[in-house]
Amino acid sequence: MNSIKFKNNRLYYLDQKELPLREVWRECRNLRDGFQATRDLQIRGAPLIGVFAAYCVCIHANNMDLKKEDFLKNLRYDIAYLKTCRPTAVNLAWALNRIEKVIEKNSKDSVQQIKQALLKEAKAIHAEDVALCERMGNFGAKLIKKGDRILTHCNTGALATSGKGTALAVVFKAKELNKDIYVYADETRPLLQGSRLTAWELMKKKIPSSVICDNTAAYLMQKNQVNKVFVGADRIASNGDTANKIGTYSIAVLSKYHKIPFYVVAPFSSFDLSIKSGKQIPIEERSGSEVKKVLNKLYVAPKAAKTISPAFDVTPHKLITAIVTDRGLVYPPYTKNIRKIFGV
């Protein structure tokens, strides 16, 4: 399963806004296409956005038939513009910073050589993302026992990365190892990434699963139907506090109450060791229309109603059983063990 394809110097992507009802592949023909697709969430998931943006720069470069000076000037300007399409996604800036370094390093070469160097770097970023997912999947699957019933939140699979995913990579690996798992996918209001995307991925991989409303997780826990929770992360502070999709903190508290292990799965690039705790992570407040008008199509509240619609919440480290990274498992005490696993 792939969410993007780069073939014969053309970039294609699966439009995630059309899922799960239609599988529509679109071509990203230029920088504007890429900007729009990312901002409109046709392409989403922090790791995937980074890989897609790197390829998008290659397409853009190939489209330009300019002398070197103008080529470089335009390219630098347009990359800076592309970075702004989703300012909170860490991996977008991270991937484009790598692309910019390649431009500077090769700026003495011919336009053709620079184009080749850009493509090489984009492919490297892509390959690395695939490898990180594999490693998280392998480490995380060791935590799963035969017959485990796993709850997950939002979408953390092949649609969120260019590989197998983060939390869902663990699930996929467990399936490969015939661990006979069952997965509950929180629908994840307001944007429904769980019911639209995670359910779709699980069905594609023939993993037995059910979609539940977010408010039903506690009911299943009460009935001993959930025995492990795996979620992704948008940013992890030095002390292990984890920002992730709104609703994650709720599940963490419910897991604690029901004595269910709660695992976060994230690659090294999701850790922000420049901040001490989750208190320093800014929480993006999104438009109330996402709550009031489902998928921008159906009103489910008075148009004038006020809303509170944070995109993320922060789960304190004390509620996290372990963090699955591409370097291995990290257990408490997190401040010490996170520094240790990343060798800093």
Q: Is 295 in the site for its own copies (CB under 8 A)?
A: yes
Looking at the annotation, which residues are catalytic? 234
Please select the residue that binds its own copies; options are 1, 24, 80, 300, rule is CB under 8 A.
Answer: 300
Establish if 58 lies at the interface with its own copies (CB under 8 A): no
Residues 225-264 interacting with its own copies (rule: CB under 8 A): 246-247, 249-250, 253-254, 256-257
Closest to its own copies by CB, 299 or 331: 299
Window contacting its own copies (CB under 8 A); options: 114-122, 141-149, 292-300, 322-330: 292-300
In the complex, the smallest distance separating the C-beta of residue 212 from its own copies, rounded to whole angstroms, is 5
For its own copies, how many residues bind (rule: CB under 8 A)?
57
DSSP class of residue 197? I
Q: φ and ψ at 27, to 5 degrees?
A: -100, 135
Task: Quote the distance between the C-alpha of residue 78 and its chain's center.
Answer: 24
Location of structure tokens 């690659």:
267
Backbone angles phi, psi at 119, to 5 degrees: -65, -40
The residues with which 182 forms a beta bridge, in sequence order, are 149
264, exposed or middle or buried, with CB in 10 Å at 0-12, 13-18, 19+? buried
Q: How far apart are CA 230 and CA 166, in angstroms?
A: 9
- Site map 198..217 versus its own copies, x via CB under 8 A: -xx--x----xxxxxxxxxx
Q: Does 88 bind its own copies (CB under 8 A)?
A: no
Return the ∠ at Cα 313 (arms to 311 and 319), rounded to 5°.
155
CB of 185 to its own copies, least distance (A): 8
Supply the angle between the helices 46-63 and 90-105 in degrees, to the nearest 10. 40
CB of 228 to its own copies, least distance (A): 17
Cβ closest to its own copies, residue 110 vs residue 210 = 210
The answer to whether the beta carbons of residues 26 and 74 sit under 8 Å apart is: no
Which parts of this chain interact with its own copies (CB under 8 A)?
A: 20-21, 184, 186-190, 192, 195-196, 199-200, 203, 208-220, 222, 246-247, 249-250, 253-254, 256-257, 288, 291-292, 294-295, 297-310, 313-314
